[in-house]
Amino acid sequence: MPFGSALPSRCAICQNWPHAPVCEACISRFAQPQHRCLSCALPLALGLQRCGACLRTPPPLDLCLTAVSYEWPWIDLITRFKFQEQAGWDGPLATLMLSASGAEDALDAADWVVPIPLSTQRLAQRGYNQSWQLAKQLSPSKADAHLLLRTRDTPSQRTLPRAERLANLVGAFAVEPLRASALRHKNVVLIDDVMTSGASLHTAARVLRQAGAAKVSALVLARTEAPEDY
């Protein structure tokens, strides 16, 4: 799949024109595949499948995949997409997510592709849920924004340590009661734009498992890599 629109445009990174929104040269330079832990998507030495932390305390995700590290230039593009009302980045960024090793196989095997939901307040402020925009692009026939609900607004997670992030999210997600049967024995892929501590994805995964989901994986656009974040 080509990266971005077929219409002429300027590459947002190198500014060359005419190019796709992110040109192939910049993708090759800034989105090199990296060997990562299958459970938390942190960088990992070749030959290993899971990091020590995930072996000691397995997370509630069967698989966790990311396209890129959360660093420049992807931070700038995600900021445009998420906070600057540039929803049109959903196509190019979803295409980047499909380049993650294992992403297409995970989506093919999924019964449902579910975005991390926003609260009503956050959705009203932003105008759209960036994770839902990505999910629709990644798998239009399987994406569903109504299976997993955000039941309450929570303070920003960005400055909180992991333990407080988890506490912050207790009771923040729920499965739509009238749709719970649709999750039983199903394979679900959660979609989010950025994974930091994994608190949101892990909390959502536990809720889906409690509803009967047989397998819950995650596919994210970008992953932070500071050890203290996990």
Assign residue 41 a region: left if phi > 0, alpha if psi is -120 to 50, beta otherwise? left
Q: How high is the pLDDT of residue 163?
A: 59
Q: In the structure encoding, which two tokens stand for residue 93, read together?
A: 């960024």
Least confident of 19-23, 135-139, 221-225: 19-23
pLDDT of residue 4: 47
What gap in Å lies between CA 157 and CA 25, rounded to an integer?
34
Q: Residue 152: count other Cβ atoms within 10 Å of its Cβ.
A: 12
As a whole-number percent, the residues of the chain with pLDDT over 90 amount to 76
Residue predicted with more confidence, 42 or 226? 42
> What is the separation, in whole angstroms, between the first and last Cα of the chain?
33
What's the pLDDT score for residue 6? 46
| pLDDT band of 204, cuts 50, 70, 90 | very high
pTM: 0.88
SS3 call for 109:
helix
The answer, yes or no, to whether residue 167 has pLDDT greater than 80, is no
Q: Is the pLDDT of residue 123 over 60?
A: yes
**How remote is the C-alpha of 26 from its chain's centroid?**
21
Q: How far apart are CA 4 and CA 7, in angstroms?
A: 9
Q: Is 50 exceeded by the pLDDT of residue 1?
A: no
Q: For residue range 173-203, what is the model confidence (pLDDT) as tens digits?
A: 999 999 999 999 999 999 999 999 899 999 9
> Does 219 have pLDDT greater than 90?
yes
CB burial of residue 162 (10 Å; 0-12, 13-18, 19+): middle
Could you tell me the pLDDT band of residue 151, with boundaries at 50, 70 and 90?
confident
pLDDT score for 172: 82
How high does pLDDT run on average in the chain? 89
Answer yes or no: are the C-beta atoms of 65 and 220 closer than 8 Å: yes
Arithmetic mean of pLDDT, 49-57: 95
DSSP 167: H
Contacting residues for 99 by C-beta, under 8 A, at least 6 apart: 27, 31, 33, 67
